[in-house]
Amino acid sequence: MIFCKKCGSIMMPKKDKKGVFVCSCGFEKSEIENSRVTENMKNKEEISVVEKDEDPSPLVDAECKKCGHNKARFWTVQTRASDEPETKFFRCEYCNHTWRDYD
């Protein structure tokens, strides 16, 4: 690392001039002996490809009004005022038909 003689900050290589280092205070220095800029890159982990997103919603017994299948996933959303109950949504496991239950 090269430090600025004026303010003590770390000096960085100037992009448009080779062999010139600049500081955030504006100080420039060239002809630095035995200077070398290196960059260490860490190997990134591979991202696994997923063919289909898994639905984390719980599977419950609920009859689909469209196809008659008796298993559906459900989740809740606060669609009305905070003093009102949540709205429960269902999605059929077989045909993906979605409906809501207001309770």
Give the pLDDT confidence of 34-85 residue by residue, as tens digits.
666 677 777 778 887 777 777 788 999 999 999 999 999 999 999 888 898 8
What CA–CA distances, in Å, run from 86 to 21, 58, 72, 93, 95?
A: 61, 16, 18, 22, 25
Closest CA to 66 of 89, 97, 91, 88: 97
pLDDT number for residue 63: 93
Catalytic pick among 28, 55, 84, 101: 84
Closest CA to 74 of 92, 96, 89: 89
Q: Is 84 a catalytic residue?
A: yes
> Is the CATH number of domain 59-101 3.20.20.100?
no
Q: Please identify which of the residues 83, 93, 101, 103 carries the catalytic annotation.
A: 83
Nearest to 65 by CA among 23, 24, 94, 28: 94
In tens, the pLDDT along 1-45 reads: 678 888 988 888 887 777 788 888 988 887 666 666 677 777 778
* Residue 31 annotated among the catalytic residues of the structure: no
